[in-house]
Amino acid sequence: MATHVKNTHATVNFTAVKGAPDPLSLDNLSLLNELGGDSVYLTSTENVIKFPKFVKGTKPDLNTLQTKDAVSCVIICVDKGKGILDAFYMYFYTFNEGPTGLGHRVGNHLGDWCVSFDQI
């Protein structure tokens, strides 16, 4: 996610936000709340149609299947008491290639969250 954010800039109504941190990072991202609140969105600094390197993410090691220097999942655990634990697995994908329907690829988008849930 850090790589994704680093390759974006803050925008409101298709206009770059004045005074926004440059470059953006996970450490300064919250500053955008004061510069446009829920109207701020992140726009790629590169033309994503050309699939810049950051869009392709980090490939896992072929032997270990681990992603070096990349966090692939965030796990949030909520203790519900009485021996019950809710676990939310949140995956962030810089680019999510959508499915094909009627001969056309649909639903491609940047910055996609996928969430799964278990109750233990």
For 26-64, how does the pLDDT look when each residue is reduced to its tens digit (9 = 90+)? 899 899 988 987 889 888 888 877 888 888 777 788 898
pLDDT category, 74, cuts 50, 70, 90? confident
Q: Distance between CA atoms of 70 and 1, rounded to whole angstroms? A: 8
Q: Which residues pair with 107 in a beta bridge?
A: none
Span 65-85, mean pLDDT? 85
What is the spatial distance between Cα 26 and Cα 5, in angstroms, rounded to a whole number?
7
pTM: 0.66
The average pLDDT across 87-115 equals 76
Beta pairing class for 109-119 and 100-101: unpaired
